[in-house]
Amino acid sequence: MRTSKMPGYSGTPLAKKLGVKAGTVIASINAPKDYTQWLAPMPEGAGHRTIAIAQASADAAVIHWFGTERAALAEALDPLGRAIFPDRALWISWPKRASKV
């Protein structure tokens, strides 16, 4: 797979910055369409899947939630918090104000 660098991003692979380890899964919710490409290269045996908020309790070691509205984040926090307890990671991303999204 060809790696695609995320616009404006440093040289460190996104998967590494997010803490994705070999043999683990990162799950994304509401991710941009190019997100899988942004994750490349992934550690050996690591994988990515897109899930719905209701599936957040799956076996992913890292969950990455994307949103644009504060109300959606407030609604998502409780199920996401339960999904990552006690030893998983959660990343929350939203557009910069300058993006006008």
Structure confidence at residue 98 (pLDDT): 66
Domains of the chain: 21-96 (3.40.50.1370)
Consecutive 10-residue runs of the chain (101 residues): their mean pLDDT? 56 94 97 95 96 86 95 95 93 81 54
Structure confidence at residue 13 (pLDDT): 92
Single-letter residue type at 19: G
Structure confidence at residue 15 (pLDDT): 96
**Cβ pair 34, 62 in contact under 8 A:** no
Token pair for residue 92? 């929350």
Scanning 4-94, the segments in alpha helix (DSSP H) are 14-18, 35-39, 70-84
Structure confidence at residue 11 (pLDDT): 84
Q: Which residue spans within 41-81 are E strands per DSSP? A: 47-50, 62-66
Structure confidence at residue 16 (pLDDT): 95
Single-letter residue type at 3: T
